[in-house]
């Protein structure tokens, strides 16, 4: 059985609308402060969305988040 056919592999986690919005800003290279300003939120709130998104994607960095989101079909190029 290949990795791609294992149960649970490649199943996209359910990100909230705000987490998806933050993810899209991250893919465009915006910093947390810039995202907070654009979304009219506090830095703390944006960091909370990022932390939750990382947990759902099981990643620890922006690069990993972008890679996983693309792999799972959460980002459209």
- Domains with residue ranges and CATH for the chain: 16-71 (1.10.10.10)
pTM for this one? Answer: 0.79
> Quick count: other Cβ atoms within 10 Å of Cβ 68?
19
CA 52/CA 56 separation, integer angstroms: 6
CA 22/CA 16 separation, integer angstroms: 10
pLDDT band of 65, cuts 50, 70, 90: very high
pLDDT of residue 76: 76
Residue 3 vs residue 24, higher pLDDT: 24
- Asked if residue 77 has pLDDT above 90, the reply is no
Tokens of 48: 């909370």
């Amino acid at each position: 059985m290949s990795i791609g056919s294992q149960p649970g592999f490649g199943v996209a986690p359910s990100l909230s609308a705000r987490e998806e919005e933050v993810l899209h800003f991250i893919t465009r290279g915006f910093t947390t402060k810039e995202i907070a300003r654009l979304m009219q939120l506090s830095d703390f709130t944006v960091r909370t969305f990022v932390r939750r998104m990382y947990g759902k994607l099981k990643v620890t960095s922006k690069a990993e988040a972008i890679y996983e989101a693309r792999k799972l079909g959460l980002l459209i190029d």
